[in-house]
Amino acid sequence: MSEKTSLFGGPDFSLERAAGAPKLRIAGIDEAGRGAWAGPVVAAAVVLDPAHIPDGLDDSKRLSAKKRDALYDIITGHAEVGVGYGSVEQVEVRNVLNATMDAMRDAVADLPAPPDIALVDGNKTPLLPCKADAVIGGDGRSVSIAAASIIAKTVRDELMTGAELRFSGYGFAGHKGYGAAAHMQAIQ
């Protein structure tokens, strides 16, 4: 769907258009794992093609794993995608906010070319080689940020599923490191 506009109050392309798209390259940036009890922070930067915006983009937390996986394949097939990581060690040494900002910066650096403007989910922006605007609730307002949310969550979920093999008994494949009751029981 070209330059999607949501009929149901979900994310649309209006923030990107207001920032100068399609003339300018707009990257949406989001993270996954910032509130988790275990595992890394993963950030993604996505520059969508305005002529190929996938239907169904939304905040990754509102989508089933099956829908996220399907959208992940579509996004990576039709958009520019960069991914960055904030390791557990970075979180412990620099704190989760700084590890997140580093991961976001690395995600932008991982794009094939720098964007002209970045729309960042949240109330803070990392130092980037382009103009950056913070968008509170951005993964529910901007299709570019929603796409980044899907990429970051899918990548992080895969990492945490793999962690189950290394750290059996914690249930990472199920709760992905977040504060579920099963996770608390395993810690205790």
Q: What is the pLDDT of residue 170?
A: 63
The reported pTM is 0.90
* Distance (Å, whole) CA 40 – CA 17: 33
In angstroms, rounded to a whole number, what is the distance separating the alpha carbons of residues 125 and 101? Answer: 7
Q: Which of 32, 13, 137 is nearest to 79 (CA)?
A: 13
Taking residue 129's Cβ as centre, other Cβ atoms within 10 Å add up to 11
Give pLDDT tens digits along the chain (188 positions): 444 444 557 899 999 999 999 999 999 999 999 977 678 999 999 999 999 999 999 999 999 999 999 999 999 999 999 999 999 899 999 999 999 999 999 999 999 999 999 999 999 999 999 999 999 999 999 999 999 999 999 999 998 888 788 867 666 676 666 666 665 666 56
